[in-house]
Chain A
Amino acid sequence: MLKTTLTMATLITVAMTCTANTAMAREQLRIVGSSTVFPFATAVAERFGKTTGFKTPVVESTGSGGGLKLFCAGIGTGHPDIANASRRIKASEVSRCAGNGVENIVEVKIGFDGIVLASSRKTHQMPLTLKQLFLALARDVPVDGKLVANPFKAWNEIDPSLPAKKIEVLGPPPTSGTRDAFVELAMEGGAKSIPMLKAMRKADKKRFKAVAHTLREDGAFVEAGENDNLIVQKLEANPDAFGIFGFSFLDQNGDKLQGSPIGNVMPEFELIAAGSYPISRTLYFYVKKAHVGTVPGLQDYVAAFTADQAWGPDGYLADKGLIPLPAAERAKVRKQAAALANLSM
């Protein structure tokens, strides 16, 4: 019995190594990148596989940075064709790409994602401004013209109009793209509205960034892990806490959670789409031009993604929580994408 197992095992291994070498020419697209874009890219990929003759693309959720790193690693079937990103590609990443022979990249802007501050429906809604948000969550805040460690323990210490509740905010860890965007849009926005920090921004931009981008570590801000569903569950259990996550999770859990208006704007689909909600970021994907023609279906995928049936206001991606670009911009991006226009930084 043992001998047959052994021979079988050897045979299987040999057979597999042989097939592995013949299967190198790739039939399906490979997409990597942001976990925020993942739900949208996968929806497009699935439909693409079912309605065209092409195989369903394989979409990996690696995070924006990890995805662009893989994307920029080189040209050839061993490297991905598309990288999703919840932020724009950095100049350093472009030069890294170029260093590995990935010279021509096509940028496709796909829509917006709102970042919401939400709490349980069991409590009253609490409208906030970016300034209040900054004062509640920054590690160092200006008090009487000096930067001190954040002294605020309760919301009403920041502003008497706010309730006398302990500050407790659950949010994503620094590895998350949502955290990057929140810090950049909400915290920096709030910091800019304070005159002392505004002056600092002019004098010493680096120091300003450090102050604006550092969240407090004394327990008022809790890093709750990458899983947004976990934050949703924790908010349900603790009505005094607030959570920071992507709009699609608020959209799905509207019976349990309510969004806080930021600067008097509710985190709602239409308001984020119109650009009036202050904490929203742009989502992108990047296409490797060198792979057009070598991997089947690349251009068709881009066309499928940029069809109004997908990314339009009534498209299926809107049902998944993607907030569409304005009509004129959609037309522009679609044209550039179809023409495979090179990225310009």
Chain B
Amino acid sequence: MTDSSKPDTGIGHDKFTSQRLRRRHRAERRFRLYGVMAVALSLCCLTALFSSVFSKAYTIFGQTEIALDIQFDQAVIDPSGKRQRKALIGADYGALIKAGLGASFPQVSGRRDKRALRQLVSSGAVYELQELVLQDPNLVDRHKRVWLAAADDVDMYRKGLIAGGAQGNGRISAKQAAWLDDLARRGQLERHFNWRFFTSGDSREPEQAGILGAAVGSLLTLLICLALAFPLGVMSAVYLEEFAPRNRWTDLIEVNINNLAAVPSIVFGLLGLSVLLGTLALPRSAPLVGGIVLALMTLPTVIIAARAALQAVPPSIREAALGVGASTQQVVWHHVLPLAMPGILTGTIIGMARALGETAPLLMIGMVAFIVDIPTGPTDPATVLPVQIFLWADAPERAFAERAAAAIIVLLAFLITMNLGAVLLRRRFEQRW
């Protein structure tokens, strides 16, 4: 069609339309630019966040250690010579460390200086010696060079995070700095891989504190949450979607589920406090209770996601199955549910990820706590990763900032693993029609 064949009623390339067209194209370009800017901005924020966390956290992998020649003196550890566990636990290992330090620095005298010298080695180092002796009681009365964790201030100083002497925060004196240089020259001061952070529970000494307790706590809590929320959520969704009649009651239930998904999480914590701890008298600080509370919180999310996934299965599949004589139950189990599974899993993972990052409801049921022992079961006292981050970020010792950042990375690793699991499961189940 050419311009000349058209009546000139404005549809052609007159001044008006071309102007309008240009304006529309401009608007289009502008809109795309906004989109690109929004994506770029969020990427910037994300990079800023990650780089700030990683730059604080990467030093966690190294831990300064001091080698001391320890004489495992029988008279100090086990005067009776019976090697009883109780004697070995209660022995004064601090005296062995003092003796070891004395052997390395025979020139240091005076109470004050000796105390300053002792402060170089972690005050938790006594338990490292205790552990060695408990594992191998034959060590008693022998001599061994042992690598012990240095104190948090020493570690920060050697990593260049705090200055020593007069410029420092007064935690490392000029004398201590000189001793440390001396140790380094003699090969008694090295940075080793920080296995403590990955294998121990919480501690009040930053250099002894580890993430394992909180990670196990999170894992147990999430397992219980999943074991409750997933089957309950999927069954509710299947019933509501496939079997339930549409009437006022199901409408009411639907509205309530949607509302429940928007209830602030602290409310679930209060419910846990009064019902689970109060009426049912379940133990405080236990992953069991935490898991139940978080399951209540994630249940609506799972139901809503599962219903949406079930709705997305084309009716032709149901009709075909019914047509060849399958019962409704068979239709659901053999056809609809497998096809809806990818969507259900996505919804469940989103709910679980939210549960993983939750601290508010756990405060009420006593999971915001200092727990040293690594939990071995769902009724042992435990804490979870976000709580551990909160507690470390709140601690006065500066070395805990590094631990908090590292714990954030562990939490992110947890999340990424969960998401990866969801992606893999989705791939396996995914079917196209």
Contacts and interface: CB of A to CB of B under 8 A. Distances in A.
Given A249-B396, A255-B167, A314-B115, A20 B285 contact: no
Interface stretch (B28-36, B47-55, B362-370): B362-370
B283 A246 contact: no
Contact of B337 (A2, A251, A256): A2
A248 interface: yes
Interface in A3-35: 5-6, 8-10, 12-13, 16, 19-20, 23-24, 26, 28, 30, 32, 35
Contacts of B286: 20
B331 interface: no
A83 B397 CA distance: 23
A46 B204 contact: yes
B86 A56 contact: no
A248 B168 CA distance: 16
A323 to B, nearest CB: 14
Contacts of B230: 5, 9
22 contacts: A2-B333, A9-B228, A12-B223, A12-B224, A12-B227, A16-B288, A20-B282, A20-B288, A20-B379, A28-B381, A53-B86, A56-B373, A58-B285, A60-B285, A61-B370, A227-B394, A252-B169, A252-B397, A255-B168, A255-B169, A255-B170, A256-B169
Interface stretch (A37-45, A89-97, A183-191, A197-205): A37-45
Contacts of B223: 12
Contacts of A316: 123
A51 interface: yes
A101 interface: no
B379 A23 contact: yes
B368 to A, nearest CB: 6
Contacts of A56: 371-373
Interface size class, chain B? 35 or more
Interface in B343-378: 366, 368-373, 377-378
A78 interface: yes
A2 B235 CA distance: 11
Given A16-B288, A321-B396, A23 B227 contact: no
Interface residues of A, number: 56
Interface string B123-165: 1000100100000000000000000000000000000001100
Contacts of B282: 20
Contacts of B401: 229
A55 interface: yes
B393 interface: yes
Given A20-B282, A35-B394, A255-B163, A319 B369 contact: no
Contacts of A229: 393-396, 401
B325 interface: no
B90 interface: yes
B288 A59 contact: no
Given A24-B281, A53-B89, A227 B393 contact: yes
Interface of B: 86, 89-90, 115, 119, 123, 127, 130, 162-163, 167-171, 203-204, 223-224, 227-228, 230-231, 277, 281-286, 288, 333, 337, 366, 368-373, 377-379, 381, 391, 393-398, 401
A42 B371 CA distance: 9
Most chain B CB neighbours (cut-off 10 Å) among A10, A20, A52, A314: A20
Contacts of A24: 281, 283
B90 A52 contact: yes
A52 to B, nearest CB: 7
Contacts of B86: 53
B396 A252 contact: yes
Contact of B231 (A6, A20, A62, A252): A6
A152 B282 CA distance: 55
Contacts of A319: 119, 123
Given A78-B281, A316-B123, 4 more contacts: A58-B366, A59-B370, A61-B370, A78-B284
Contacts of B227: 8-9, 12-13
B368 A60 contact: yes
